Structure 1
Amino acid sequence: MSSAGDPRRDARPVVLVCMPFMDDRRPSLQIGLLSAIAQAHGFPARTLHANLDFAAGLGVDEYRALADRSGHLVGDWLFSLDAFGSAAPDPQDRFLDLHADEIARAQGTSPARLRDRLLQIRHHDVPAYLDALVDAYPWDEFRLVGFTSTFQQNTASIALARRLKERYPELLTLFGGANFDSCMGVELVRTVECIDAAVIGEADTAFPLLLHALADDGDLDAVPGLARRVDGKVVTGPPAPLVQRLDDLPIPDYDEYFQRAENLGLLPRTASRAVYLPLETARGCWWGMKHHCTFCGLNAESMHFRSKSAERVLDEFAHQARRYRSFRFEAVDNIVDMRYFRTLFPALVDSDARYEIFYEVKANLSRAQLKLLAEAGVSQIQPGIESLSSRVLRLMRKGVTAAQNINLLRWAQHYGIDVSWNLLWGFPGETRQDCSEQTAAVPHLRHLKPPDSAGRLTMERFSPLFSDGEKLLRDLRPVAAYTHVYPVDVDLDKVAYFFRCDIEGALPEDDYTALRRAVADWESAWQSDDRPVLEYRQAPHYVQIHDRRRKETEGTYFLEGPAADLYLACCDRPVTAAAVRERLGLRGSVEGVQRVLNEFSEAGLVFVDGPLTVALAVPATRP
């Protein structure tokens, strides 16, 4: 820490910038945290959510539609001319020949109208936005401008950095974020002249050390993870260390986001705000440390799991709620710390706080754990369900079964927790039977929340399939859109995050046609005013199951005596026939119990997953 009289406190401040296409609906945790870290070390720092200016100019609906197309790089393409000038690879806008039809379908507009609008944005709106940004902000007051870049933020950040270096050549431009992990950052520093330096990896330690080195004319070579050009070559400092004690990090500063969003009319000036505040309670993935899911490219080289104490998280919830007048939080963690079920969530219940919280979780949570989440204020989860086939889940290394996935959907629905999940296919080793079994199961699941999307897996850098795919992946190369974004001297194999390839042992797309149609029917049923229902009511040794999954087959099942007891024994969690027999103290054989469970399965009242059976009906919420 610098002392109160340290002259560095009077030094020119640094500014940390968030460019399009970061979501306009929430502040950037990255620049909010780094600005707080800089200030904790005695360096004045500001943030600039410049993405908000672009969202306000385009209109938030159009901005968000473009932000959601990260796989096609449409946002990066829009800024590529201003990022690279005469070196930009697509002056004739051939990118639109490749993607306009698909993007137009997704946005519900005509390809011709979409082309005209994207060309207007690329050739007129983008340059005008960048010019206004350079002219209106006091860049000459700063010594360093830092850019955080994830997904479609690269070229917008480069485009602004290029303009700034032309007008203020002494201004140091620093880049970082997920787009600069590993070789991606090194290659961008090597080939993009307006990038002076980049932090490769976590910047919590490197950033303040860099500021100290600049203030003291210190040795930049000693700054961990710092990549920069020296004599025409890129040199990188020692690896950036992972922060081990997250409790030592300051609370992120989001003041400027709210001021800017309200000034631009993107947020109303109200006493209470409905914004989801980003909250980091953990980094890395404890499951990935043991069994990295084969398709996941998150965490790059920082899989090591670390989490904040429950006490610190409670303090941060309360501090940010008071400071920003919002009771909504979005945990950015890749997976929830299971210790929180003993510490944080009971403490939230006892605190009488009333927050709305989003968390990513593992899908094998129990009924009791989901109930606790709901009581603690967790209203949205992303459990990484990914498949309804236990065999495919094993291929993915998910560490859960299909029965557990379905049970989570049931109890989350019962406790009022919204579930965001995807259905993926195209994995090496999948069979047509895996696909047909999922297709057959879908009609019985219509009363549960359908997937947000369903389709073939995306090949991501850092995923095990990508890293270990020499024997499985054929014709591996960056997706075609990169060739329309980056100049020819950029090695796309080192810069790209999304790749295309043929996977040895994967089924062709036609084999998933029936599954795709079944999911589309499921989604359509949930978009209607009269959603499907499968619910049960119970009394001792008596169960009523009302089935309105399809109107044409609506009816009620009545189960009494041992049949009712058998069904209820499958309601809490997936169980085996032997476990049911033992729990109920039945005199009959295990085979006899299994025959009854099979009858339930034929009626679509339970899901049978190998030896496991789980009920499909959800408890009725009203008598």
Structure 2
Amino acid sequence: MDLALISMPWAIFNRPSIQLGCLKAYLGQELQTCRVTCFYPFLDIAAAIGFDNYRLIAETPWAAEALYCGLLFPKMQKAAGTVFSRTLKRIVTTDYPRLLEILRLQHDQWLEQQDFSQCSLIGFSVCFSQLPASLYAARDIRKKWPGIPIVFGGSTCTPAMGRSLLKIFPEIDFIITGEGERALKELVLHCTSQEPLSCPEIISHHEKTGNIQAAGCGEIVNLDDLPLPDYSDYFQHIRQKNLGFFPVLPVEFSRGCWWNKCTFCNLNLQWHGYRFKHCQQMTAEINELAQKYQCLDFTFTDNALPVKESTLFFEAMAGDSRDIRFFAEIRTLKSRSVYTRYCKGGLNSVQIGIEALSDSLLGRMCKGTTVMDNVAAMKFSQEAGMTLDGNLILEFPGSTAAEVEQTLAALDKVFPFHPLSAAAFFLGHGSPVSCSPEKYGITTITQHPTNKKLYPPEILANLDMLIKSYRGDRTLQTRLWQPVRKKIAVWQEFHARRKNPSVPALSFRDGGSFLLIRQELPDLPTLHHRLKGLSRKIYLACEEPITKKELLEIFTQVTKEQLNTFLAGLEQKNIIFCSGDSCLALAIQSP
């Protein structure tokens, strides 16, 4: 039996699809008679429009969706073109109409080269920004091979979204709404031998009545049992087309999120609980993948790494002589030394869920962190040698003017560190905010206005989209957060214009009995501070978060009033951060 699995634009071009790689390996292990071929049309698109153009578009979700919506719904091309131009503020060397021509031509050429006539099933992995492209391809595949069933799966295919897709797009026969391995195996057996469906993660049209029925295969409990992802088709495509880049290999340490409480998040709708691999298994996978595909760069696809096992893993990798490098999304770590150990183990790029710089706002987001945790994470990651990416969520429903002021004050303190990105709050389907909107002052949930420019109204009215809009205090929030948005822009420009970014913008050199602190500021001369004797000792005692009570216990010769006066002076200079009773020195020792 033959099975085709397809990953459409706008998947990141220099990574094979971990979804396709895992599914191919699993089916190859479980169904020896099943021949799975993975297709990566996005590679040809990237080569045709240029890798830089592709990357810019893929990093701008609305612009990415606007392109294939223009092809899928011709009457929406004009409106979709305005979305493309408005959201893609960075320069793309090809305009919207020409890009549509290239995408159409590449699609037709790719389809002409395929022969799916022997396939028992064709599957699409549908994740971020891949829905319009997948619908466009599925429609044409159905026209050319009308008898072959088509299945959609992936993070976009929640139960509600899946049901709405089945109602509107007849070219889709099945939706897999959760973890894919066992469900796809059952679906393959159903399509080849007519075995009945019993898996609730598979949604289909009932053959006779046309009603949609939900048929749980159950999730894989022990992730250590999963085979190594199979990326052979991706690398074969690269070799055949002689594409000139070194791929980054996606790997997964865990599925789900061990925290899973953030009120804005809807990234774990497809998972039930949290599962992870053990250190030995992860190490073995990295070793085998690096050797098999001759790659040294890896990206963890986890929403949150398992703390204990990942610590053991990076400690083990620190003893490896190869220059293997990792990217991962992590939660803030409590210990300065852990950042250093992770970096020594190859974790040189991280995305940390900062999200807010106001304690009360972090509380309503249920982040389980404090502003001090976030500021420390920004300092410690840079100190360890990591590149940190993170977001500040602006315009969270119910945010107060006081929380905006707290954010602005904290931004003054973190200016020396790698800047965060401003991310306007969006209402995600299935998130705690969307499930209890009244708690956040939301009166009505509506379709996102951008989707109204991409999808015909008769279709959008029946689609349960993952990104929605709402009525409540949106206008107020937009106005409140404007100063923060402007300050982040200044922060980003300051770091973009720094002449020597390898040197921390706020650094110190230790002279034994004194400290020399160097402080770069935007549009101002560089400042220099000298701390001598006891002042030096107190500042160094604050290299990790420490309470004022603990400082007074260490430095018994200092009174509470003297300590508060000293710390207030350092705070005014923005070289220390104090929150409540805790303090953190912000300067990083010069390399």
Structure 2 residue runs of 5 or longer lacking an equivalent are none
Amino acid at match of 1:264: K
| Pick aligned residue for 1:329 from 281, 284, 298 | 298
Q: Which residue of 1 aligns with 2:486?
A: 517
Q: Which residue of 1 aligns with 2:435?
A: 467
Question: How far 1:536 moved relative to its partner?
Answer: 1.3
Could you tell me whether the CA contact under 8 Å between 2:396 and 2:477 is conserved in 1?
no
Could you tell me whether the CA contact under 8 Å between 1:227 and 1:234 is conserved in 2?
no
Amino acid at match of 1:163: D
Distance in 2 (CA, whole Å) between partners of 1:498 and 1:390 is 26
Could you tell me whether the CA contact under 8 Å between 1:474 and 1:504 is conserved in 2?
no
Aligned length: 584
Distance in 1 (CA, whole Å) between partners of 2:257 and 2:279 is 18
| Pick aligned residue for 1:227 from 200, 203, 207 | 203
**Which one is further off, 414-423 or 203-212?**
203-212
Distance in 2 (CA, whole Å) between partners of 1:176 and 1:492 is 22
Question: How far 1:59 moved relative to its partner?
Answer: 2.0
Amino acid at match of 2:86: E
Question: How far 1:303 moved relative to its partner?
Answer: 5.1
Question: How far 1:68 moved relative to its partner?
Answer: 2.1
Change in CA separation of 1:431 and 1:92 when aligned onto 2, cut-off 3 Å: closer
**Which one is further off, 507-516 or 175-184?**
507-516
Matched, 1:604 2:574: yes
Q: Which residue of 2 aligns with 1:20?
A: 9
Could you tell me whether the CA contact under 8 Å between 2:379 and 2:417 is conserved in 1?
yes
How is 1:395-410 mapped onto 2 (pairs within 5 angstroms)? 395-410=364-379
Distance in 2 (CA, whole Å) between partners of 1:577 and 1:528 is 37
Cα deviations by residue, 1:494-548 (Å, 9 ceiling, x for unpaired): 4311112234498432222322222211111111142572111225453221223
| Pick aligned residue for 1:423 from 386, 392, 398 | 392
Could you tell me whether the CA contact under 8 Å between 2:323 and 2:346 is conserved in 1?
yes
Q: Which residue of 2 aligns with 1:103?
A: 87
Q: Which residue of 1 aligns with 2:548?
A: 577
Cα deviations by residue, 1:314-369 (Å, 9 ceiling, x for unpaired): 00000100011011100000011111255222222234443101111112332110
Could you tell me whether the CA contact under 8 Å between 1:22 and 1:153 is conserved in 2?
yes
Q: Which residue of 1 aligns with 2:56?
A: 65
How is 1:202-217 mapped onto 2 (pairs within 5 angstroms)? 202-217=179-194
Could you tell me whether the CA contact under 8 Å between 1:428 and 1:506 is conserved in 2?
no
Could you tell me whether the CA contact under 8 Å between 2:70 and 2:77 is conserved in 1?
no
Distance in 2 (CA, whole Å) between partners of 1:91 and 1:618 is 52
Change in CA separation of 1:188 and 1:605 when aligned onto 2, cut-off 3 Å: same
Name the SS of the counterpart of 1:558 in structure 2. strand
Amino acid at match of 1:598: A
Distance in 2 (CA, whole Å) between partners of 1:334 and 1:456 is 20
Question: How far 1:587 moved relative to its partner?
Answer: 3.7
Could you tell me whether the CA contact under 8 Å between 1:395 and 1:427 is conserved in 2?
no
Change in CA separation of 1:390 and 1:264 when aligned onto 2, cut-off 3 Å: same
Amino acid at match of 1:601: E
Distance in 1 (CA, whole Å) between partners of 2:356 and 2:464 is 30
How is 1:445-464 mapped onto 2 (pairs within 5 angstroms)? 445-451=414-420, 453-464=421-432
Question: How far 1:238 moved relative to its partner?
Answer: 4.2
Q: Which residue of 1 aligns with 2:28?
A: 39
**Which one is further off, 238-247 or 382-391?**
238-247
Q: Which residue of 2 aligns with 1:55?
A: 46
Instruction: Please give the TM-score of this superposition, normalised by the length of structure 2.
Output: 0.93
Instruction: Please give the TM-score of this superposition, normalised by the length of structure 1.
Output: 0.88
Question: How far 1:22 moved relative to its partner?
Answer: 1.0
Could you tell me whether the CA contact under 8 Å between 2:452 and 2:460 is conserved in 1?
no
Question: How far 1:492 moved relative to its partner?
Answer: 4.3
Name the SS of the counterpart of 1:535 in structure 2. strand
Q: Which residue of 1 aligns with 2:540?
A: 568
Q: Which residue of 2 aligns with 1:90?
A: 75
Q: Which residue of 1 aligns with 2:249?
A: 277
Could you tell me whether the CA contact under 8 Å between 2:27 and 2:181 is conserved in 1?
no
Cα deviations by residue, 1:124-148 (Å, 9 ceiling, x for unpaired): 3333223212210121232211110
Structure 1 residue runs of 5 or longer lacking an equivalent are 1-10, 269-273
Distance in 2 (CA, whole Å) between partners of 1:235 and 1:370 is 49
Could you tell me whether the CA contact under 8 Å between 1:541 and 1:561 is conserved in 2?
yes
Q: Which residue of 1 aligns with 2:141?
A: 164
Question: How far 1:407 moved relative to its partner?
Answer: 1.4
Could you tell me whether the CA contact under 8 Å between 1:225 and 1:236 is conserved in 2?
no
Could you tell me whether the CA contact under 8 Å between 1:387 and 1:402 is conserved in 2?
yes
Distance in 2 (CA, whole Å) between partners of 1:351 and 1:59 is 36
Distance in 1 (CA, whole Å) between partners of 2:585 and 2:174 is 56
Q: Which residue of 1 aligns with 2:562?
A: 592
Name the SS of the counterpart of 1:139 in structure 2. coil
Distance in 2 (CA, whole Å) between partners of 1:506 and 1:404 is 30
Could you tell me whether the CA contact under 8 Å between 2:131 and 2:156 is conserved in 1?
yes
Distance in 1 (CA, whole Å) between partners of 2:104 and 2:535 is 70
Question: How far 1:459 moved relative to its partner?
Answer: 1.5
Amino acid at match of 2:551: V
Cα deviations by residue, 1:22-42 (Å, 9 ceiling, x for unpaired): 111111000111011111121
Percent of pairs identical after alignment? 24
